[in-house]
Amino acid sequence: MKFFLDTANIDQIKEAQDLGVIDGVTTNPSLMAKEGIKGTENILKHYVDICNIVDGDVSAEVISTDFEGMIEEGEKLASLHAQIVVKIPVIKEGIKAIKYLTSKGIRTNCTLVFTVGQALLAAKAGATYVSPFVGRLDDISHDGMELIAQIVDMFNYYGLKTQVLAASIRNTMHINKCIELGADVATCPLEPILGLLNHPLTDSGLKKFLDDYNKLNG
Ligand code: E4P
């Protein structure tokens, strides 16, 4: 399973890239705003900066909601860098835009997916990735992981090539569940990924090794 870092924060992206654990980055307009990136030129430059740090796909989201606007923005974003994947919301105009951009060889990430039906329409339009939002479903007392399971099964059943990019991943257990269910990618901040390293037997085992070494050599 691939890990994408879900942030527009350059320091976090550099830290994760240096650790060698990430395969790409996802952003959205809220994450860009959180970093104070404003103005079209600055936003486009920020995407290029991210691409120059990571080896892998970088999702850049359109802000238009009409077909013409989305394809114009999508083509501009895709021309910035070969690693850019255009992120499009799963609305009617978005599905049309995904179909169009796919026909032009531009890769897409269909975002804000909350049902199996939305994932199917995105896949039929040719999306490279679909992004079901796990944490936001959990927030309203729905089982976000159940949606990942259903989409993975559905794509396997119909032989659809679209990758399941589990988004809105908030904790390490979410990641463990994604691995179990066979999600293609999980996107989240660095913290839950580092949580995978935690085990008390690793800590106690390492302490004993070092204590035993130091008894003779210390
Ligand atoms: C996905 O691509 C989104 O950027 C993101 O995962 C949303 O996560 P949130 O629900 O924690 O904001």
Per-residue pLDDT of the chain (218 residues; tens, 9 = 90+): 999 999 999 999 999 999 999 999 999 999 999 999 999 999 999 999 999 999 999 999 999 999 999 999 999 999 999 999 999 999 999 999 999 999 999 999 999 999 999 999 999 999 999 999 999 999 999 999 999 999 999 999 999 999 999 999 999 999 999 999 999 999 999 999 999 999 999 999 999 999 999 999 97
With a CB cutoff of 8 Å and minimum separation 6, the contacts of 178 are 1, 145, 148, 166, 169, 186
User: What pLDDT score was predicted for residue 23?
Assistant: 98
Provide the pLDDT for residue 99.
Answer: 98
- Asked if residue 109 lies in contact with residue 165, where contact means CB atoms within 8 angstroms, the answer is yes
Distance 203 CA to ligand 1 centre (A): 32
The residue to mutate among 187, 188, 191, 193, having the most atoms of ligand 1 within 8 angstroms of its beta carbon, is 187
What is the torsion angle, in degrees rounded to the nearest 10, for the CA atoms of residue 134, residue 136, residue 139 and residue 142?
Answer: -50
205 C-alpha to ligand 1 centroid (Å): 36
C-alpha radius of gyration, the chain, whole number = 19
- On whether the CB atoms of residues 91 and 65 are closer than 8 A, the answer is yes
Query: pLDDT value at position 218?
Result: 78
Q: What is the pLDDT of residue 29?
A: 97
Report d(CA 19, CA 118) in Å as an integer. Answer: 35
Ligand 1 touching residue 7 (CB < 6 A): no
- Give residue 69 CA to ligand 1 midpoint distance, Å: 23
What residue type is 112 in one-letter code?
Answer: L
168 Cα–ligand 1 center, Å: 4
Q: Which helix (H) or strand (E) holds 108?
A: strand 108-113
Q: Is the CB of 83 under 6 A from ligand 1?
A: no
| Three-state SS at 42 | helix
3-state helix, strand, coil in the chain (%, to 5): 55, 20, 25
Q: Is 4 in the pocket of ligand 1 (CB under 6 A)?
A: no
Q: Tell me the catalytic residues.
A: 87
> Cβ-count burial of 27 within 10 angstroms (0-12 exposed, 13-18 middle, 19+ buried)?
buried
Query: Which residue in this structure is represented by tokens 């169009």?
Result: 100
Q: What are phi and psi of 199, to 5 degrees?
A: -155, 130
